[in-house]
Amino acid sequence: MYTLYSMQRSGNSYKVRLALARLGVPYNLVEVDVLKGESRTPEFLAINPNGQVPLLEVAPYRYLAESMRHWHNQRTLAELIAKAGWRDVEWLNLTFGVVALHRATKPLTTPVPKPEPS
Ligand SMILES: N[C@@H](CCC(=O)N[C@@H](CS)C(=O)NCC(=O)O)C(=O)O
């Protein structure tokens, strides 16, 4: 299960909580109070040298540390998804486009076996 390091009052953390909620993705929540310096402890800096929240642990010792700075805009991301072989790419803007969820379908590449005649 994912673990989200987040601060309740952080807008960047809110975007990630909103996206996870809309996707129905369960996660553990770790509250990090950046105003008390909790994102600048040696333990936190070891997992996110930026010393910021949100931080999403997606697998043991694998973290996503940016909620938006390095991401493409919606249209460019949709084009990249389509280039990767997905069809019917569309997106839903949340919070006036600050958060967006993309959805697409991918055809099966291996034929579905026909059922054995009985
Ligand atoms: N580029 C980051 C920015 C994250 C960010 O600015 N987080 C703030 C809280 S909203 C923070 O952790 N500030 C504490 C600090 O910089 O020490 C993102 O988009 O997620």
Output the CA torsion 46→48→52→58 (10° steps).
-130
Q: In this model, does residue 39 exceed pLDDT 80? A: yes
Band the pLDDT of 30: cuts 50, 70, 90. very high
Give the domain 2-64 fold.
Glutaredoxin (3.40.30)
Q: Which residues is 33 bridged to in the sheet?
A: none
Point out the ligand 1 atom lying closest to the alpha carbon of residue 68: 19
Give a three-class secondary structure readout of 5-67: EECCCCHHHHHHHHHHHHHCCCEEEEECCHHHCCCCCHHHHHHCCCCCCCEEEEECCEEECCC
User: What does the pLDDT average to over 44-67?
Assistant: 93
Residue nearest to atom 11 of ligand 1 (CA): 52
pTM: 0.75
Domain boundaries, the chain: 2-64, 74-105
For the chain, what is the mean pLDDT? 91
- Percentage of residues in the chain with pLDDT exceeding 70? 97
Q: Is the pLDDT of residue 118 over 80?
A: no
Identify the residues whose C-beta falls under 6 Å from ligand 1. Answer: 10-12, 34, 39, 51-54, 66-69
Joined together, the tokens standing for residue 64 give 């996503």
Work out which ligand 1 atom sits closest to the CA atom of 54.
20
